[in-house]
Amino acid sequence: MTDMPEKPEARSSSSVEAPVATRRRFTSYRLRGPYAKPWLDDPAIKKTRLNNFIVGTLVFIGFAAAAVVAYFMVRPYQDLPYCLVYEDDFSSLNTDIWSREVQLDGFGTGAFDWTTTDPRNSYVDAAGLHLVPTLTNETTPITNDEMFANYTLDLSRDGSCTSRRNSSCFAHSDPVSGSMIPPVRSARLSTRGRRSIRYGKVEVVAKLPRGDWIWPAIWMMPEDSVYGEWPRSGEIDIMESRGNSRLYPEGGNDIYYGTLHWGPTAETDSYWLTTGAKKIRRGDFSKEFHTFGIQWTSRYIYFYLDSRIHQIKFVDFRRDRPLYRLGRFSQMAENQTLLADPWSGSKSPTGNAPFDQRFNLILSVAVGARNGWFPDHVGGKPWIDAAKNSQWMFWSAAKDWLPTWAAGDERGMTVRSVKMWQQGTCGQPDLEL
């Protein structure tokens, strides 16, 4: 048998030494010792530093200003005690609280509507309280011809007129003088003599009308004209708007206003110093319900939409700057006589007169006006305020504006709820401050 050759030994990897890895030493190329930096002497670098300093300073000032603004925005939201004195969800019309006011003269605004007790102008259903304008020749026996000529309407005969002035209860159509029977009927409801507050909160949830020259309003008037005729005793407009579309130059139903009216005379009403507005970017206030509110103390009144953090206007009352001084009425004259301070007898120490008295709540929908609410020659307005036949001009253009009115109750204002709070704990007398 032949001998087998010897098997060679297997090689082991451990028997081969691996090369040792060497790490290259880092060599710095930074210059050692002092060296020239000519770019630091470049004027552009110095200018950049100055600009950075200015920007930083402005940013700091901006944050500081924002903090100051935030402070004054939050300041009125202090927790105050309130007593709910009235709440209504309009499951029915509470005639113990609400009274329908009936007049023909537009309550001093020159509006073209005749406010009524007709249930077609104010009624309640599942959606809430509706205030809806209707046409006179469609809801009464008065014909179109009679509205223009030879018809007398006297609301004092049946006792329905709620005004003591004959001019507010009587109308006669006469083509020579330009007078006519109001072509539109509408509604105005008030809590006067039933519910009022002196300092507190009011919130009204409502949806506004759609239609040209319709004027919805949620507002407050004094229970007693302590300081005299309007606007001496003040007026608080929680919400005023127009039914025109958002294309109307003065703002349609996509915008509303919160305003205080005050002054020694009607001509010196300084509402423009105490008015604010809110415009919504999409849609308008006729699409859905919104909460229109105010908070009122002896030191301020502010208007808000939906929530108190959405403030529309803040009016601050100050002891050292009462409204008489704010309006600069001491520099104005009437019949060559300087205007006296109508609020000098106020006992309020905060300078807030005439807004130191009790005010009641009013809900109304008017149509047209002759007081400038719809400015002349703007947005196709078909009448002139000062014209004797302005009502006739308005009605003659019905073919243009009537098609813009929504159908049914959407041409009116729908009120879902009303809440009124008196500042202070329940059972406490009116606050003096």
DSSP-based three-state secondary structure for 195? coil
Write out pLDDT tens, residues 158-211.
899 999 898 899 999 999 999 999 999 999 999 999 999 999 999 999 999 999
Mark whether 313 and 332 lie in a shared domain. yes
The residues with which 222 forms a beta bridge, in sequence order, are 359
Contact between 316 and 277 (Cβ < 8 Å): no
Q: Average the pLDDT over 219-230 and give the result.
A: 97
Q: Among the three residues 35, 54, 73, which one is the final residue of a domain in this structure? A: 73
- Peptide bond just before 231 cis, omega within 30 deg: yes
Q: Average the pLDDT over 358-364 and give the result.
A: 99
Mark whether 284 and 170 lie in a shared domain. yes
pLDDT of residue 236: 99
Domain count, the chain: 2
pLDDT of residue 8: 46
Contact between 159 and 391 (Cβ < 8 Å): no
Query: 104: domain CATH number?
Result: 2.60.120.200
> Which residue in the block uniquely carries the two structure tokens 């196709």?
380
Identify the weakest region by mean pLDDT among 7-21, 50-64, 164-178. 7-21
Mark whether 273 and 387 lie in a shared domain. yes
Structural domain harbouring 61: 44-73
In a domain, 9, yes or no: no
Amino acid at 320: D
Confidence of residue 12 (pLDDT cuts 50, 70, 90): very low
Mark whether 110 and 240 lie in a shared domain. yes
> ∠ at Cα 360 (420, 114), nearest 5°?
120
pLDDT of residue 11: 45
Assigned token pair, 80: 């105050």
Mark whether 99 and 66 lie in a shared domain. no
pLDDT of residue 121: 98
In a domain, 22, yes or no: no
Q: Average the pLDDT over 339-350 and give the result.
A: 95
DSSP-based three-state secondary structure for 193? coil
Write out pLDDT tens, residues 331-340.
999 888 899 9
In a domain, 270, yes or no: yes
Does residue 220 carry a pLDDT above 70?
Answer: yes
Assigned token pair, 28: 């710095």
pLDDT of residue 76: 53
More confident position, 64 or 13: 64
Write out pLDDT tens, residues 249-306.
999 999 999 999 999 999 999 999 999 999 999 899 999 999 999 999 999 999 999 9
Mark whether 249 and 277 lie in a shared domain. yes
Mark whether 54 and 86 lie in a shared domain. no
In a domain, 38, yes or no: no
What's CA 70's distance to the chain center, in Å?
21
Q: Among the three residues 73, 91, 120, which one is the final residue of a domain in this structure? A: 73
Residue 328 to residue 341: CA distance in whole angstroms: 10
Mark whether 152 and 281 lie in a shared domain. yes
In a domain, 232, yes or no: yes
Mark whether 107 and 222 lie in a shared domain. yes
In a domain, 7, yes or no: no
In a domain, 6, yes or no: no
pLDDT of residue 56: 86
Mark whether 264 and 326 lie in a shared domain. yes
Q: Among the three residues 35, 56, 73, which one is the final residue of a domain in this structure? A: 73
Closest-CA residue to 391 (of 140, 112, 150, 105): 112
Mark whether 121 and 237 lie in a shared domain. yes
In a domain, 37, yes or no: no
Contact between 229 and 263 (Cβ < 8 Å): no
Helices (H), 100-244: 136-139, 144-148
pLDDT of residue 15: 47
Confidence of residue 31 (pLDDT cuts 50, 70, 90): low
Residue 315 to residue 31: CA distance in whole angstroms: 67
Q: Is the dihedral of CA 361, 363, 369, 373 positive or negative?
A: positive
From residue 428, alpha-carbon distances to 195, 202, 383, 422, 425 in Å are: 16, 19, 51, 10, 6
Taking all residues of the chain, what is their mean pLDDT, rounded to a whole number?
91
Mark whether 69 and 84 lie in a shared domain. no
Q: Average the pLDDT over 382-410 and give the result.
A: 97
Assigned token pair, 340: 């006296």
Contact between 406 and 208 (Cβ < 8 Å): no
From residue 32, alpha-carbon distances to 28, 35, 71 in Å are: 10, 8, 55
pLDDT of residue 413: 99
Does residue 37 carry a pLDDT above 50?
Answer: yes
Contact between 202 and 191 (Cβ < 8 Å): no
pLDDT > 90 fraction of the chain, expressed in percent and rounded: 76
